[in-house]
Structure 1
């Protein structure tokens, strides 16, 4: 099993990438080292938002399909296959596949993995928590979300961390309003997380999404980030995706250049939605 004697994760064996039918349109970055620089706007009209919503609905359905299969004994590669098959069956391309060389169709981040875990032969164990991060691309638009699931019977600390991370996302979403700066989102999230002594990851953020997987717009999840002063506008589309930990917000990166873990190997959870800003707040675009 790809875990060490302390029960912490170590790299496993990554199976080959799954095939996407040639009839499905690829994002422009597939086969390249990096996507082309984004020069568009993060504000979309109703027609474009409708296409983002369609992709987001597919991604959300894929998350639910994966979640239904999560149990002790399942490998993260098996979960990746479920996500992959769900998306391609609906004419969508799995956005992570080939993005800056990422080899799989979703991210699977277990326990101390903050984000970007690569599906492999790691076997889920009773008491784990696992984040599934899925983005679907269809009709020129990406829809991006993630969700943390409980595996079997988990500790009370783990259960509360997952529950409160979801609530932190809800509070971040409620802070969104036209005319405010994006840094109010992190202020709402961290003020809630601090009540429980949780760490709030700083270096991995929400982002603009739509015609680009990551547009360059940064949505911080922590307080004291006045440099992130973009003004929220009606029609703006972005993700909010707080990552909370039971310990430090500092992190380490594996040699694969993707897998990010908490430096102290404490548990971490994450939730994410893609949303569009409305006159009154937001509409979530990643619902099944």
Structure 2
């Protein structure tokens, strides 16, 4: 059952989402060759707790860490470890936080040093597809409208869209209805209404859409070993239109990136 949020609950969810956003901003300064994903994981846990929240992933379904850290051919759910990041890697960092009884959950794929133009293009298209999907998350549309927009945008550019892993509703539970696939048919699926909150998260592969799982029971890899990218935002329907609760602005501030990509999904400028 879809849990509709009141305006007051949406504001509480925005607070949780922005803790995740700020955490990713802190990590953005530290993602560099030689750092380990375990070091980043410890930093994230400390920051989340210091800001009055709990790590959303730690212990969830028995996951052992604060962050899902998925480098290169890992799609999602990678477990932090002692292996240093290397020049030319990419690393998808998925982070969750819980405050005031509500979850925030979003993700960004970072470049480690200088990466190839081919990989840059994968990241660019994946992030652009996220906003293509968000544009269709509005009252009266359906789940398939968002999935179709993401799928078409990525497949038209030659990328594989993962089928087995999907976005989701968000609230007092990390995963609520509805499921939000990154593929689909327009006009199909559950209808969107005022007060819905979801996490939209394209997971896009440079090669095949097919995936496999490591024996650790968590880590998902591309079947062909080619890189994968993952970007995720928390979005509410407010006044019938999509409104971002999360932001990449803290990441961009840390990395010195200028961007207005989020402006159309905000009523007013975000104060950093």
TM-score, normalised with respect to structure 1: 0.84
User: In the alignment, what sits opposite 1:146?
Assistant: 107
* Contact 1:129–1:151 (8 Å) recurs in 2: yes
3-state DSSP of counterpart to 2:156: helix
| Deviation string, structure 1 residues 173-199 (Cα, Å, up to 9, x no partner) | 011221111110011111111221000
Aligned pair 1:233/2:233, yes or no?
Answer: no
1:278 correspondence with 2:238: yes
1:87-139 CA distance string (max 9 Å, x none)? 00001100100011100001111000000011111210000001110111000
Shift of 1:279: 2.7
Q: 2:44 aligns with which of 83, 89, 98?
A: 83
Kindly report which structure 2 residues correspond to 1:65-80, keeping only aligned pairs within 5 A, or say none: 65-80=26-41
Runs of 4 or more, structure 1, over 4 Å off, are none
**1:177 touches 1:279 (CA, 8 Å); kept in 2?**
no
2: distance between equivalents of 1:169 and 1:246?
Answer: 16
TM-superposed deviation, 1:280: 4.2
Structure 1 residues not aligned, in runs of 5+: 1-38
1:256 to 216, 221, 233: 216
Match of 2:155 among 186, 194, 206: 194
1:104 pairs with one of 65, 85, 89:
65
Alignment of 1:4-153 (within 5 A): 41-153=2-114
TM-score normalized by structure 2? 0.88
SS in 2 for 1:196: coil
SS of 2:25 mapped into structure 1: helix
Q: CA RMSD in A?
A: 1.3
Point out the structure with the larger helix share: 2
Q: CA deviation at 1:278?
A: 2.1
Distance 1:51 1:247 in 2: 39
